[in-house]
Amino acid sequence: MSTYKQIFYQVVFGTKYREATIAETHENELYKYIWGIITSHKCKLYRINSMPDHIHIFSDLHPATSLSNYVKDIKVASSIWMKECGKFPLFRGWQDGYGAFTYTIIEKKAFMMNTSGYLLKIKLNLMKDIYCEDLG
C-alpha cells in the first residue's frame, strides 16, 4: 500500500532579532538554495518569498519527514550558506522557532492563485509604510 498525502504547509520564520538582513538584491539566490534543500527532503516547493526580516515557504512535506526537522534543516543549511557566501554580510542567523500553517488541496489552489499578488502587496505596503514613516 502506498502513502497518500494531501496537506501543504506555509512556514514562516524571521531573522535573528528581526533585523532586516535579507538583501533583496540576492534573495533569488537564497530562494534557489532553499529550493535545493527542500528538494533534497523529497518535498516540493510551490512558493517562496521574503521580506528583509523574514521568509515564507509554501511546500508539501514528504511523509517520512517531520516538520520540525524539515524547518531545522532549512534554517541551519541556509544560515551557514548566507554567512559564508558573502552576499548577506549583516545576517547573523535565524530566530528561534517558526510559524507553520496547513492548507488543504482546495486552499492550496486558492493560495497559489493569490499568493504572488498577496506577497507583492505586503512588500509594497511595507515599503509605503516605511516611506511614510521616513517623511514623518
Residue 78 within a domain: yes
Q: What is the pLDDT of residues 67-80, one digit of tens each?
A: 999 999 999 999 99
Residue 3 within a domain: no
Q: What is the pLDDT of residues 85-108, one digit of tens each?
A: 999 999 999 999 999 999 888 777
Residue 77 within a domain: yes
**β-sheet with 99-103: strand ranges across:** 45-51, 54-60, 8-14, 99-103
CA angle (72, 68, 4) in 5-degree steps: 125
- Give the Cα separation of 58 and 8 in Å (integer): 7
Band (117; pLDDT cuts 50, 70, 90): low
What's the grid cell of residue 10?
506555509
**CATH value at residue 32:** 3.30.70.1290
Query: Identity (one letter) of the amino acid at 126?
Result: L
Please state the domain count of the chain. Answer: 1
Residue 102 within a domain: yes
Residue 66 within a domain: yes
Range of the domain at 82: 8-135
pLDDT at 2 over 90: no
Band (136; pLDDT cuts 50, 70, 90): very low
Residue 99 within a domain: yes
Residue 1 within a domain: no
Residue 46 within a domain: yes
Q: Report pTM.
A: 0.81
